[in-house]
Amino acid sequence: MIGNRPVADSMSPSDGSFVTPGTSLSLDDDAVTGSGIGRHQNQWVALRSGTLSLGDELVDVISSVSTPMIPQEGEVIIGRVSRLHSKTAEIEILHIEGRENPNRTQDALHRTADIFVSEIVDRFMPSPGDGMRSRDIVRAKVIKSEPMVKASCKGDPALGVLHAICPVCGILLEVSDKTPDQNVTCGRCDYSGYRALSNGYGYGHIIPDGIDISPLNRGGERWTEEMDGRLGHDGARPYLSPMADYRRGENHKMPDSQIRRPTGRDGRPRREMHATTCTLCGTATKVPFEPTPGKPIRCRDCMDKIKSGEATKEELAKERELINKMKHEAEKAAGLKVFVGGLPHSATEEEIREVVEPHGSLKKVDIVTDREGSPKGFGFIVFDDPEQGRAAIKAMKDIKLGGRRLRFEEANSGGGGRGGRGNGKGRGDRRRRN
């Protein structure tokens, strides 16, 4: 008998035995089992590794592996700063205080915590990198557990940076009050800086009695003019990896490839704004793209008016008139681009101008060539006056050059000829510009 239940096999695991998935168990067919035991081919088997528990009411396998740790709201965590973003510091969670379970396995989705810049210290701070740096060890309280862990270092002098190394030479930074708004210094080099210090700085997570260094954080105070100039008002230096941050230190020349453009509230690069005039109401406005002549450009109010259908027929007709005028002026300034086909391979710019310019002056002549620089038998010309160019196309139907009759067609906006002809800029094309 095992647990008041008969068994058929004397070798079956007994109460308290360690079993693994697939271990056969000799139990009554009507036994009440838990989630750790199942049936396979009319035989009871263990479904997980653990200790077999043969109770009077339930038979089950108690898992020998503890569930991964998930930080809960209100708990205190110890973590290491792994990344600095423009508005958050990402903390790798190393320990949850107060947990009696010796298992330290972290849940895969809760291994890091974010500390927003507003939760680092009780004073204005433009970026997380001004209060903590990569590789710093911090003590923080969990303020949100799902869907991702968020933590705070405010509200308790025991919270904050516990351990910080010099970003220049790598030794432990010492607490110092010699320079206003700078509370840490290096005993080896001339580095000094600011950290949102915990009262346990330099002692680990155990807070010693009779020590209070929180006044060095200068909570609620304004920054001095000198220190304000050192703060990361353009955001932290997120392009630096922890190792690069360690080697370069606080003051260094930013690589040209990493110079940050102005960003918006979402952290994305802010696009350059171009001054222009609304084509509907005529007021000055700005748009995040370079205006194209002959295209409608509207201010925000007029865009809303168009979407809601409140724009009148008179306003739209006046806008069309303005757009057509702008298009005509832009076309006149750019000239008329014309495709020229049937060019002899020996044709030169001077020869083309000689046969064309009697019908209208030219801005430019392009002879298309291949990768080796050999002419491909066609090119483009640009007339100064669009109207004069269109008249020239009609007048040059029978013009010949080098014994070959030339073809002239107005190039469309996409660069091709009218009859579906491409613009000749195939792969490998080169133009011999004159």
Domains parsed from the chain with CATH numbers: 18-63 (2.40.50.100), 68-251 (2.40.50.140), 275-332 (no CATH), 335-433 (3.30.70.330)
pTM metric for this prediction: 0.47
SS3 65: coil
Mean pLDDT calculated for residue range 220-245: 68
Mean pLDDT is lowest, of 102-106, 199-203, 285-289, 343-347, for 102-106
Mean pLDDT is lowest, of 136-140, 194-198, 210-214, 405-409, for 210-214
How many residues are there in the chain? 434
pLDDT value for 127: 86
State yes or no: pLDDT of 425 exceeds 90: no
Q: Are 38 and 45 in contact (CB under 8 A)?
A: yes
State yes or no: pLDDT of 260 exceeds 60: no
State yes or no: pLDDT of 39 exceeds 80: yes
Mean pLDDT calculated for residue range 219-242: 70
State yes or no: pLDDT of 6 exceeds 90: no
More reliable by pLDDT, 13 or 119: 119
Residue of 107, 100, 7, 103 lying closest to 59 (CA atoms): 7
State yes or no: pLDDT of 160 exceeds 80: yes
What's the token pair of residue 41?
A: 């081919």
User: 422 pLDDT band (50/70/90 cuts)?
Assistant: very low
User: 407 pLDDT band (50/70/90 cuts)?
Assistant: very high
pLDDT value for 103: 60
Mean pLDDT calculated for residue range 241-258: 56
Order of strands across the sheet with 18-19? 18-19, 50-54, 59-63
pLDDT value for 379: 93
Name the range with the highest mean pLDDT among 77-81, 234-238, 396-400.
77-81
State yes or no: pLDDT of 391 exceeds 50: yes
pLDDT value for 3: 41
Q: How far is CA 339 from CA 111, 347, 385, 423, 427, in A?
A: 64, 15, 16, 7, 18
Q: Quick count: other Cβ atoms within 10 Å of Cβ 44? A: 19
| Pairing mode, strands 149-152 and 112-116 | parallel
Distance CA 233, CA 145 (A): 30
pLDDT value for 373: 86
Distance CA 419, CA 409 (A): 9
pLDDT value for 414: 43
The average confidence (pLDDT) of the chain is: 81
pLDDT value for 81: 93
State yes or no: pLDDT of 41 exceeds 60: yes
pLDDT value for 247: 57
Q: Quick count: other Cβ atoms within 10 Å of Cβ 130? A: 25
pLDDT value for 11: 59
What's the token pair of residue 394?
A: 């009609």
Mean pLDDT calculated for residue range 406-416: 71
